[in-house]
Structure 1
Amino acid sequence: MSAWVRHHRLSAADSLRRVLERPAASLLTWLVVGIALALPVTLALSLDNLRALGGRVDTQAQLSVFLNPAVDTAEGKALAAELGARPAIAGATFRSREDALAEFRARAGFSDVLGGLEDNPLPHLLLLVPREPARSAALAEELSALVAVDEVVLDLAWLERLQRLTALGRRLVLVAALLLAAGVLLVLGNTIRLAVEGRREEIEVTRLVGASDAFVRRPFLYSGLWYGIGGGAVAAILVAGMFAALRRPVAQLAAAYGADWRLAGLGLVDAFGLVLAGGALGLIAAWLAVGRHLRLDPGG
């Protein structure tokens, strides 16, 4: 057992030394692996941010309930209080037609034209916040049956389209991740294959003195591990740098629309997982590359 542990320690140190002895080639390999790993992670984080933004909007969904012109202010306020007390409604706000006209004048910028109207054409309005946004459509249909209600407007089609696009994006990210993972395996496998060819004579000597396949494979497994870990670290740095550069512009854009929303980047746990994923891909690529060599040349 002590000899096995000692050989693991020596193989890990020797393979790391060999990787660092060729800094240009190793850095190029790390960059290729890092970029391949960073692309699907960036897409996945972007979709997570979109899903979080959709969730925030979803919880703030409102129903615009337009009342009949015959309903006066007192009846509108009473109806708002009655609907606000329902369990399915989290909040109800009454907006009189006078307030709506004043706001329209201020925003439209043509108060002279509106001032020429004999009557206020705008109805009273109720703004309702559903307690369960998923049941907004059913609630809108129920409110439409009330005598005092003229029309109920529920505009969540864009949010449904966003959710469908997000689901499609997750599928695309999965496909892209699988393709890029295959590319990483090919790149690392070719790198390890070149390392095996460069140490062919050494492998032949160790096989002649009775070295097992595990003994021969072990140094190259550690080489693949170092290449994969380095690539995962580069990917984590690229993703973190990209989202750090975008965080301030996104916050400024959200503030311009009066929203308090910040871009969520790569956390420490996610970065560590990305490094581990790179190391796992390196081990798999090295195992496949050395195993192929041992099968094609079993004698050495």
Structure 2
Amino acid sequence: MLTSLKSSNWLSTSTLIRREYFVYYVFFLVLLFFTITLQESSFFSLTNFMNIIRQTTPITIMAIGLTFALAGGHIDLSIGSVVALSALVAAVLMQLVPMPVAVLGALTVGVVIGLINGLLIEWLKVSSLLITLGTMGVITGLSRQITNLESVPIIDSSFNFLFGSGSFGPVSILLAWTIVASLLGYVLLRKLRYGRHLLAVGGNESGARAMGINTVKIRIASLVIASTSAAIAGLLYAGRLHGARYTLGEADLLTVIAAVAIGGTSLFGGRASIMGAVIGSWLMGLINNGLILSGFSTNEQMIARGLILIVAVAIGVKEQQK
């Protein structure tokens, strides 16, 4: 009996370890696969890895933000549309006011939209899926309306350097953004009281409420974090591309959800991983980059992202059932 119990505990611990590090295993295997199959290309090079970082940093920032919303039991489908609106607001304001004010205006867009989403969800007791789907439509319409479908160039060299185009030798400044966002997200989720309360709310809302936690404020704050992260992603897109357009971020939602889900964050709340979300976003970028170098089309890349999301959701559902 004792031997059987020990064996059961070992299996349980082993399974937990495999789940926790699943995204790392997959990342290593994908990296190894493309390194071997694309030996004649420049896949395994610092230049290519920096290209992957440049492409994925906005996704990484959004994935970190969405991790907080999912940890609290909500999902935000409007983050892709927030990217475009915040980038356009920054670009338009930069023609009228100093750069720091324009950046603050773009971030305000994220904060306000997050508050609106949170208040509607918590006060009306409506599914976050439905509310953020509705706000996504509204924000997308505003993005198209604000400049009448026209792109807005950004010529401020300081902005472009800080928000995407800058580099220190071969190392992109976007790597610094990734590191800073990862550290802030980790500290907020794992080291501060807010993060502990958020996970408690997502894991057992009634239990958290019985402990005296203000579940409404906690969840609204998580949606503000998600939306503000999307606004930062919009600034990074605008800085890297030297301009803003209403199409920015419109195809990112699926990739962000896949990155967060495969990174170990539960789609049902109560469990989250910041580093998992980061590695998950890098994994998505690695796969896209490898498929492009292998000659796959955009359509085939979309199929690959969809399959990854299906696998991640399947794993999450199985874990929830156990």
TM-score by length of 2: 0.23
Larger fraction in strand:
1
Task: Decide which structure has the larger Cα Rg and report it.
Answer: 1
> Which structure has more RCO (C-alpha within 8 Å, separation ≥ 6)?
2
